[in-house]
Structure 1
Amino acid sequence: MWGQLCIFFGGAGLFVYVTRKLNPGSWDNWNNKYRVKDDLYLFPLAIQLFRHYVIQCLITKKFTLWYEYENLSLGKNSDSKIAVNYPRQIKDFKEFGEGAFVVESLTYRELYNEVLRMSFILHHDYGIAKGDVVTMFFMNKPLFIIIWLALWNLGATPTFINYNLTSNPLVHCIKVVESRIVLVDDECINTFNKTRSQLESELPHLSIRIIDETSTMAQLREPARQTYRESDKIRDSGVRYWDPAVLVYTSGTTGLPKSAVNSWRKLFMATHLFPRSMHMDSSSNIYTAMPLYHGTASILGVLPALLVGGTISIGHKFSLSSYWTQVKLCDSNTIQYVGEVCRYLVDSKETANEADCYGKIKLAYGNGLRPDIWMKLKKRFHIPVIGEFYSSSEAPFATTCYEYNGIGVGALRNNGYLLDKFLSLQYKLVRMDPEDETSIYRNPKTGLCEDPGVNEKAEMIMRILNPKSIKTTFPGYVNDDAATYSKIIRNVFKEGDAWVRSDDLMRKDELGCIYFVDRMGDTYRWKSENVSTTEVENQILEFVPEIQSCVIVGARVKNHEGRAGYLLVQTVNNNSENQAQREKILDDIYKVGQNHLPHFARPVFVVFENISFTDNHKISKKLFRDPVLPNGKNGNMKVYYLDNQTKGYRPLDGVTYAQIANGKIRL
């Protein structure tokens, strides 16, 4: 692989040199079409990756990123270079404006010292040691990063969990990774306590530790406080590059969340290849208000910032009114987004300190940015570059789009010709069955799959480097081999090869730019989260006995990113209930959403509909896909929507839907 990469870029460099010397005009035209200059920018990275790969895999065998972080923390300027900013809100923003925040900053050396002090507490007070799986139920704050790095120091594996989870999903998430201990942010204690008795009953050996932020941070700032650094020999013992560095969770098609392995190999790519493709360096100051339990903010936010020697500025949570104030106070020059956040920013009236940030943001990067919002974001906030990426919690790597000149607007990849050829060795688009877009097409004569045509719907698949050892490339999901291997497809382009399915439909245009089309299967995306339809349906059926069958699909909502949950229910009385009885069922559905589902998975729309089964007693969800709002395809369906003001489901009509579309009513 590395030899192929060097041949690609070396040959390209020679060709470019000769072309520019002989015919400068021809070079300009050629470069605009094939973007070779952009590809050559990544050439030094090829050498770096190869050198690091050889040294790490064959000589030192130090796969953990702890050492790279430590070297930066003890290196030149570590006493003055800011590693982490945190705008802590201490007053009411409407009343005090900028004065509502105090920016807490840690230099690289300060952060490192606090990590070592936290390591002492975790090791000596909590008994955490090499090999332990530790669940973190935490909100965004510096303590999240401190504990994370301290666990790496100890050789433990951090597990980032959604702090909105309760009930069965929370129990499952802790159980499936065989976590020995869960560390709970005291700010999340009310949510956690809703499930605490269930956890203590079902997992009696689980140690639950509530971390008081105020007292803990006070201890970490004491210079005389004891520190602990684990020995390299213990930390490195038995570690392989495909072992988990971090565990995060993803919704799937089997019901409850799955814990996705993010290996040291994947994180190495995230901290070397990704920053280079996004033109990040030590001057980058990245502001993110995305939740750190998500790989977007942690793996592609915190790690790239810290391991290029830059600054990560973390918002406690997303706030539209104070967003630009926090960006200004942190002096950030880069912002991280998910698509829905950009829509909020673009559609809002000018907010406080917004104009102060014009021209100061060099890059906005993230995933899920709609094409119609893309250029509006750049224009309104004077941002020259959008960096869109595509990845998933379990995917072996990511694709990137660095758009600065109009090529690739709305794309998730816009690499040039040379890099495209090389990356096609790692991932490709594969043609789908024209009769069923959820099935990959195979040529009836050869039995092999085919490349799609230009702009044809296709699934992205990722190559398994060693088909005889799947998990060295795709570790998959923790303690769930069935789910892991269900994503593998074999004998795709030649006999014996193996690839990972993404379950996402894409298309490639004439220039080779790749665009997201839609998700496949039993998940949909809402509020930047993947929602498992099976999980929602199971919770509804378990707690609302009046419902006999139900189906939830994703519904497109005008001017909204993703798809909102659209629940179809059939009662035990075949929907013959009167209005008062239906309202009682709707109230019960609302309670299930509040008590047993994270906010993004709660049904936004509900309809009473007869649900038919196939001959093998399964519900054909294809019959219910792409529902039409506000009143169905025939215009006569009575739809109820989740009214957050009145805390229940209310009838949806054209006027109400128009208010939802223009943002007057927030879903």
Structure 2
Amino acid sequence: MLGLVIAPLAIASLFGYIVLKTEPTWFKNFNNKYRIKEDLQLVGVLGSFFHHYVIQSLITKQFSLWYEFELNATNPNVMNTIAIKYPKSIKGKNFKIDGENSFIVENITYKDFYESILRMSYILKNEFGIEKGDVVSLYFMNKPLFLIIWFSLWNLGAIPAFLNYNLTSNPLIHCIKVVKSKIVLIDDECLNNFNKTKQQIENELPNVLLKIINEENMLEKVNNKINEQFREINSIRDLNVKYWDPAVLVFTSGTTGLPKSAVNSWRKIYMATHLFPKAMHFSSISNIYTAMPLYHGTASILGVLPALIVKGTISIGHKFSLSSYWTQIKICKCNTIQYVGEVCRYLVDSSITLNENECYGKIQLAYGNGLRPDIWMKLKERFGIKAIGEFYSSSEAPFATTCYEYNGIGIGAIRNNGYLADKILSLQYKLVKMDPNDETIIYRNPNTGLCEVPGINEKGEMIMRILNPKNIKATFPGYVNDDIATYSKIIRDVFKKGDAWVRSDDLMRIDELGCIYFVDRMGDTYRWKSENVSTTEVENQILEFNKEIKNCVIVGAKVDNHEGRAGYALIQTQNDNKDIENNLNKLNEILKELYETSIKHLPHFARPVFITFQNISFSDSHKISKKIFRDPILPCGKNGLLKVYYLDGSKKTYSPLDDNIYARITNGDIRL
């Protein structure tokens, strides 16, 4: 039976290899439409899945990624390869003065990394008392020691929980408490911030051990080859472990304001380290630079792990720095960069920085999530980047989509697989049609009671299949110790009776080629003039056609005596609104340009009715949290002092809004 499957695949692979090498004209035309080339390159993934689901899941029961890392680290052909590069700032040096000489690159081979892990494992077990099954929280900045501790915990069979080192007070206590952490390991570099909450933690969680890690002293111990090593016995490490058990715990923001701990299971980790690298074309020569915080899954699960499993190199920036970004990439000799959120906009909008020109054309791939369509090609062109790898996932999602764009097909998409891959992957996730009268509700056919797939370019919510509806947590472990939040994302009886899917709360659309595009968070739409308005689409239009605007947030504002919500834009200019504070002519010029953009490029129902100027802050992952801007108060904010402007058709601009004008709007004298 297995031969019946392998033989056709082998023939297809051989045929594909010949075609890929020769690329005749007919194939180029055919591939532009169906992207078979991408499908053929994914054939090798089938072998990995066979190993995972048959050998690993049914025979060895060794789900931990520790074993694959260990094989690489002890392989004579790999052990002397550089696993980690770390551009470390030299004390006493100033980048503005010393440039690249202000850094020293620490190179750690697979062999040295592995041996340091074994020595750290000895310390964690014998000095800190960490055992299999313990949850250990890490309050750490980006550095090799973070990775050494992480993999040591895997060796011991313990569970690492990655804490945001910016957290203090109740959110930090909540994160430690919700995962039932036994011990918190604190980077001495984060001590000042941690100490703000230390006494509160000791009072509320007296049984949690707090251990401050002095980096210099600890590295001396783990790098000293005469110190003892420890490797846990396999049978102890694997005891009672299921593939849906947590490999890593990371935190995602919750609607209550308190973070939720998302379970990243061994199954999900396996996907991230086998399917994702294939989709992104990683190999042993990949040297990936990331300055994203390692406590986020983007950098840790989709950065560190794929690099190490393909026997490549991960280069870790201590934290994101626009001025030294390209310098760090140059001295680490990276060929791949990882982005998230607005980082790409920072790079594109900046003036030329040191070593930028030296890196031009040397980056084969920039990958991450949240790259805006208007920045996509600018990023490639300015820095000579060969391909963009955009993905869509979340901390808790059981699956991810990928877009590898190198030829113009799929610009701005979150998925652009080939025709065959689309058909296979659509078994894992689909778009589901929304109620035409309320885009927050999934549509069900009144005759069948089942859901439907939206049409081409029709918006729908992304949902992901639960493989076994009777065992939800095998596919979707959800959130730690929060079954209410976990099961609230499950929808049943979707396309057939008895099935179950995970809701993403994100609206997407699919085009004629099968490419999927992100449209909006479901909470980021509002209804005006009997139409649903996508805040993201409006923001993209404003940013594309108004070059003096740096950031823009669109929300819906409740207007007395009006149905729905009117568009309300928060605008930040390129120099953070300083140019308009005392310059009435400049202010009027920008208001006029925004009016013209709204009229020319947006349908009447999507035009921002109100505008105010406000500097917009970003989260530590370079994303805008729209929650803090929702439900604005008209006419002049909560304190009555906010300057707001309204869409004034009579003057063909945005004019100042005051109590009198707002009263005329609410009673119908001025029509919106």
User: TM-score band (shorter)?
Assistant: 0.7 to 0.9
Trace 1:159-558 onto structure 2 (pairs within 5 A): 159-521=161-523, 556=539
Given the alignment of the two structures, is residue 75 of structure 1 paired with residue 72 of structure 2, yes or no? no
Within 5 A, what are the aligned runs for 1:80-99? Answer: 80-90=80-90, 91-99=93-101
Shift of 1:148: 0.3
Task: Give the Cα–Cα distance (whole angstroms) in 1 for the partners of residues 88 and 399 of structure 2.
Answer: 33
d(CA) in 1 for partners of 2:630, 2:450: 42
Alpha-carbon distance, 1:132 to partner: 0.3
In 2, the alpha carbon distance for the partners of 1:469 and 1:392 equals: 21
The alpha carbon displacement at 1:599 in A equals: 10
Question: 1:492-516: per-residue Cα shift (whole Å, max 9, x none)?
Answer: 0000000000111111011000001
CA 1:20–1:230: 2 relative to 1, 3 Å: closer
Query: How far apart in 2 are the matches of 1:213 and 1:396?
Result: 35
CA–CA distance in 2 between the matches of 1:52 and 1:113?
27
Instruction: Write the distance in 1 (CA, Å) between the matches of 2:79 and 2:254.
Output: 44
Gaps of 5+ in 1: 525-552, 570-589, 612-623, 640-667
Task: Report matched runs for 1:117-128 at 5 Å.
Answer: 117-128=119-130
Give the Cα separation in 2 of the matches to 1:450 and 1:599: 32
What amino acid does structure 2 have at the position aligned with 1:77? N
Which residue number in structure 1 is paired with residue 57 of structure 2?
57
Render the CA deviation track for 1:560-593: whole Å, top value 9, x for unaligned.
8997598999xxxxxxxxxxxxxxxxxxxx9xx9
**Under a length normalisation based on structure 1, what TM-score does the superposition of the two structures give?**
0.80
3-state SS, counterpart of residue 521 of structure 1? helix
Aligned partners of 1:26 and 1:451: how far apart in 2? 33
- The aligned amino acid for 2:172 is L
CA distance in 1, matches of 2:15, 2:104: 54
Q: Report the alpha carbon displacement of residue 292 of structure 1 after superposing the two structures with TM.
A: 0.3
Aligned AA for 1:402?
Answer: Y
- Are 1:182 and 1:209, in contact at CA under 8 Å, matched by a contact in 2? yes
Residues 455 and 562 (structure 1), Cα distance of their counterparts in 2 relative to 1, 3 Å cut: farther
Distance in 1, matches of 2:143 and 2:554, equals 30
- Does the 8 Å contact 1:165/1:598 carry over to 2? no
Are residues 254 and 522 of structure 1, via their aligned partners in 2, closer, same or farther at CA, if it must alter by over 3 Å?
Answer: farther
Query: Is the contact between residue 336 and residue 364 of structure 2 (CA under 8 Å) also seen in structure 1?
Result: yes
Identical-residue share of aligned pairs (%):
64
Cα displacement (A) at 1:255: 3.5
Matched with 1:645 is: none
SS at match of 1:262: strand
Conservation of the 8 A alpha-carbon contact between 1:607 and 1:638:
no
Residues 567 and 315 of structure 1, relative CA distance in 2, 3 Å threshold? farther
Match in the other structure for 1:40: 40
Once the two structures are TM-superposed, the CA of residue 630 in structure 1 deviates from its matched residue by 6.3
Note if contact 2:643-2:656 (Cα within 8 Å) is conserved in structure 1: no
Distance 1:114 1:561, change over 3 A: farther
Distance across 1 between alignment mates of 2:644 and 2:366: 34
Residue type at the aligned position of 2:473: K
Stretches of structure 2 that go unaligned for 5 or more consecutive residues are 527-534, 544-548, 559-613, 649-653, 659-672
What do the CA deviations read for 1:248-300 (whole angstroms, capped 9, x no partner)? 01113243111000000000010011001111011000000000000000000
**Residue aligned with 1:352, SS:** coil
Q: Residues of 1 paired with 2:206 and 2:623: CA distance?
A: 28
Q: 3-state DSSP class of the match of 2:520? A: strand
Contact 2:524 2:555 in 1 (8 A): no
SS at match of 1:411: coil
CA 1:98–1:454: 2 relative to 1, 3 Å: same
Q: Deviations over 1:421-459 (max 9, x none)?
A: 001110001111111111111111111111111111111
Aligned residues: 573
Please tell me the root mean square deviation across aligned C-alpha atoms, in Å.
3.5
Secondary structure of 1:43's aligned partner = coil
Q: What is the identity, as a one-letter code, of the residue corresponding to 1:609?
A: I
Q: Is the 8 Å Cα contact of residues 253 and 522 (structure 1) preserved in structure 2?
A: no
Q: Is the 8 A contact 2:162 2:249 kept in 1?
A: yes
- How far is 1:47 from its partner? 2.1
**Match of residue 132, structure 2, among 130, 133, 148:** 130
Change (3 A) 1:76 1:517: same
Q: Does the C-alpha gap of structure 1 residues 56 and 568 become closer, same or farther in structure 2, counting only changes over 3 Å?
A: same
Cα distance, 1:17 vs. partner? 9.6
Q: Normalising by the residue count of structure 2, what TM-score does the alignment of the two structures yield?
A: 0.79
Query: 1:285–1:334: 8 Å Cα contact kept in structure 2?
Result: yes
